[in-house]
Amino acid sequence: MASRYIRRTNFWACRIDNNFSVTFKAILRCRPVLQAAICRRMKDGTTIDLWLDPWLGSRSLLEILGGQLDREAGRGLTCSRIIRDGGWRPEGYPFTAQLAAEIHTISIDASQTEDSWSWAGPGTGGGSGLFCFRSCYDLVRIHHDQAEEVDFIWGKGVARKMQLCAYRLLHGILMTRDRPIRFGMQISDAKCVLCNDEDESMGHLFFGCPVSWHIWTEQCAQLRGGVGMDRDIRSILSWIRGYRGRDPGWARRARVRLAASVWHIWKERNRRIFEGLTTPLLKFYII
Ligand SMILES: [Zn+2]
């Protein structure tokens, strides 16, 4: 990745380009999160970019100085420029007194063999500074209320077939038409069979498609007088959760309707694809 994508820049300053691989773009998007847990540990500064690497308490000088910095003039300078005889010598650079004082608080660890990265993610107490995959995963993953999800999938009143469908939707493993394409397979028709307009994906089929969205809003109208919702399963779950304390009976019914709606949308999609049959929209409503 270093030789292919960031030859003329630095990982932290690299701009996301459409030509980058999906994986590398995802890694770059994690930078603000990762930056909170990573820092350069200084030996002599010869491998640490003065402006771009996060060495000032997880921040880079570029981040601190922003627009004041002439990027071209500073390109390629390392921290060794402001270290002499094992101490900081930031004089001669356009640092404010406050920034210079901050630099002096960074320890230079002469006992190290070379400059290194230090990791301080969640769950890595003890200050070893060693990277740990579990800690990194905990940092970048999206935290959800698991109790709500478990309740939604496995709670009372939801038929087993609907539970299974809801589980697969929540975990993103329903085989919509975009998935075989992503695995490199050729399929003759990638369109959503409900609207015949856009390509089918889980996001589109259940929430983006005007047909399924019409079903959600009907369900909503029957439940709470047409409350607006964000178009994804977790947002809808958290919307329902908001009512749990005030009206647990309603929250339970909403959860059952949600699971049933997911299942009926999936069932209708399969009927249209595999049996060539279409249910009139009015008969589509569930309860
Ligand atoms: Zn559609």
What is the whole-number distance in angstroms between the Cα of residue 171 and the centre of ligand 1?
Answer: 21
pLDDT band for 267, please (50, 70, 90 cuts).
Answer: very high
**232 lies in a domain?**
yes
pLDDT in tens, 72-124: 556 678 888 888 888 888 887 777 888 888 888 888 887 878 888 888 777 77
Domain interval for residue 199: 146-284
What is the whole-number distance in angstroms between the Cα of residue 196 and the centre of ligand 1?
Answer: 6
Q: What is the pLDDT of residue 73?
A: 59
What is the whole-number distance in angstroms between the Cα of residue 190 and the centre of ligand 1?
Answer: 11
* % of the chain at pLDDT higher than 70: 86
Query: What 3-state DSSP class applies to 84?
Result: strand
pLDDT in tens, 146-175: 666 777 677 778 888 888 898 888 888 888
Looking at the DSSP bridge assignments, the partners of residue 38 are: 119
Residues 177 and 267 in one domain: yes
Q: For the chain, what is the domain count?
A: 2
What is the whole-number distance in angstroms between the Cα of residue 209 and the centre of ligand 1?
Answer: 4
What is the whole-number distance in angstroms between the Cα of residue 201 and the centre of ligand 1?
Answer: 9
**Kind plus residue range of the DSSP H or E element containing 118:** strand 116-119
What is the whole-number distance in angstroms between the Cα of residue 107 and the centre of ligand 1?
Answer: 58
pLDDT in tens, 191-242: 999 998 899 998 899 988 988 888 877 776 666 654 456 677 877 777 777 7
Q: What is the mean pLDDT of residues 22-38?
A: 85
**111 lies in a domain?**
yes
**106 lies in a domain?**
yes
Residues 110 and 163 in one domain: no
Q: What angle do CA 157, 174, 248 make, to 5 degrees?
A: 25
Residues 134 and 175 in one domain: no
What is the whole-number distance in angstroms between the Cα of residue 178 and the centre of ligand 1?
Answer: 13
**4 lies in a domain?**
no
Q: What angle do CA 178, 179, 184 make, to 5 degrees?
A: 100
Q: Is 215 exposed, middle or buried (0-12, 13-18, 19+ CB in 10 A)?
A: buried
**10 lies in a domain?**
no
What is the whole-number distance in angstroms between the Cα of residue 22 and the centre of ligand 1?
Answer: 25
**154 lies in a domain?**
yes
Residues 58 and 122 in one domain: yes
Residues 167 and 212 in one domain: yes
pLDDT in tens, 116-151: 888 877 777 666 778 888 888 888 777 666 666 777
**202 lies in a domain?**
yes
Token pair for residue 226? 């047409």
Q: What is the pLDDT of residue 254?
A: 81
pLDDT tops 70 at residue 71: no
Residues 54 and 174 in one domain: no
Q: What is the pLDDT of residue 15?
A: 85
pTM of the full structure: 0.50
Q: What is the pLDDT of residue 286?
A: 46
CA-to-CA dists, residue 213 to 164, 204, 206, 218, 231, angstroms: 21, 10, 7, 9, 8
What is the whole-number distance in angstroms between the Cα of residue 226 and the centre of ligand 1?
Answer: 21
